[in-house]
Amino acid sequence: MALSRRALLAQAAASATAVAAPSPAVGAGGGAAPTTTTTTTLRGTIPPGAPDFVYVPLDVPSGVRELRVSYRYDKPPTPPGTPGNALDIGLFDQRGTALGGRGFRGWSGGARSEFFLRGDEATPGYLPGPLERGRWQIALGPYTVAPQGLPYEITVTFVHGAPAPAVPVAYPPQRIPGRGRAWYRGDCHVHSVHSDGRRTPTEIIALARAAGLDFVNTSEHNTHSSHTAWAGAADSGLLVLTGEEVTTRTGHVLAVGTDPGTFIDWRYRARDGRFARFARAVRQAGGLVVPAHPHATCIGCAWKFGLGEADAVEVWNGPWTADDEVSLASWDATLCGANGARWLPALAHSDYHRDPDRIGGPQTVVLADDLSRESILAGLRAGRAYAAESSAVSVDFTAVTPRGAHAGIGEGLAVADPGAEVLVRLSVTGAEGCELRLVTDQGLALTVPAATALEWRTTPARTAYVRAEVRHPPQAPPLPGPPAALTNPIWLRP
């Protein structure tokens, strides 16, 4: 007989033992007064079919200077094709676990097996601050559970003593000197040590500048802890937008350019009907809602929420694969029904985690009035952007009427006569040997192999929009080769 959700929760958090183990320790200040520690061990078993998140209560006493948590869980062998055990972890304080994250104190997923919090410092992924008395909750996320169940053991150490003083909070500036109205290159999907990445923000800044980028967006999984870690980025000439990768069990979505310090909750599925609330929260914080790798094949990665709440969509994620090709085709299908009204711009990002991932591979190149959060987001939202495999690739794509009216990427060209001829021009640098392709609402309209420029004529009566692809030679015909660049459409409006 299947267990109820309440019974599963009770079974998962059934066992907890406390072991008092006072021992002398020296405080973090080196010469600080001696402290003592107390250790508590929490044990339980998560059965197959458990809820997405299991909360293990933790009573935090008064006078705790530092909280340390480590955990482990069994990983028994499973038959081929059967998922094994994988367990994520995070923490909520005495303010509770209600959706919205008021009590949120950090999340590391499965990236690390231990973490600590103190008033002045915390493990990346977690938020420093007061360790107040009350019932906290350790959040466990059973990503997959083996048929045998998932036994776990959590060790919590309280370091007792005077609280560490809070440190001032600083965020990266929202504007830095730029080139005025120009094309700016960025990567809005990168991960540092604050989630499951391997590089520090400082190292990522250096890699981004070496890749020719002008901006990046912080996109750690389910935490905003890194927002304060980028404060010095402006000294290198890099604009840092603050955001998050909201990693649900039915798809991942980038919150791009939200107000610094904004946390967006992730503890829901598409069937719960809650996503619209959190999409609004992203926009209320000034950010963009961008579904990530919508057709990825990893567990929980494919986007299941629909595109009604999206502001743009990531059609190219890291090295080009078959799921990117599907994402591109699916996005193009949405353009066919948009008729130049509300349409979703396409973006490209590296999803950088570690070498050999390459920051800026691919990247989004956006026309913006300045190198500022406001201007970059405005350009992305309007679709004045194209994707490129690296900073070596540049695209010029325009449409012109006989009377000299013209439009560029993401713009609309108003033509009084639907039968009037429009000249479309495409030129590319840094992509020698690639074929140039024009795609319209009717499908592939033109292919020119091994070219760097083309011209094509059409009319608004025949073509609702035209977009450009720059493709490397095919590797497995009849499939096209991977792209060197992709553009958003130009709309032809009678």
**What is the mean pLDDT of the segment spanning 101-127?**
97
pLDDT of residue 475: 86
Q: Element (H or E) spanning 112, and its range?
A: none
Share of the chain above pLDDT 70, in %: 93
The residue type at 27: G
Nearest to 196 by CA among 232, 247, 231, 151: 247
Residue 3 has pLDDT above 70, yes or no: no
- 237 pLDDT higher than 70: yes
Answer yes or no: is pLDDT of 31 > 80. no
Over the chain, what is the mean pLDDT? 92
Report the pLDDT averaged over residues 408-431: 95
16 pLDDT above the threshold of 60: no
pLDDT in tens, 452-481: 999 999 999 999 999 999 999 998 888 899
What local confidence, expressed as pLDDT, does residue 25 receive? 38
For the four alpha carbons of 117, 121, 124 and 130, in that order, the dihedral sign comes to: positive
* Residue 340 confidence (pLDDT): 65
User: Average pLDDT of 334-350?
Assistant: 89
| Segment 34-57, tens digit of pLDDT | 689 999 999 999 999 999 999 999
Q: Give pLDDT, residue 494.
A: 78
pLDDT of res. 34: 66
Tokens of 253: 């979505």
Rounded to an integer, what distance in angstroms lies between the CA atom of residue 231 and that of residue 227?
8
Place of tokens 């959190």: 278
Q: Give the pLDDT confidence score for residue 234 in this predicted structure.
A: 79
pTM: 0.93
Q: How many residues does the chain have?
A: 494
Q: What is the pLDDT of residue 17?
A: 42
Residues 316-322: what's their mean pLDDT?
97
Whether residue 418 has pLDDT greater than 70: yes
199/205 Cα distance (integer angstroms): 10
pLDDT of residue 337: 80
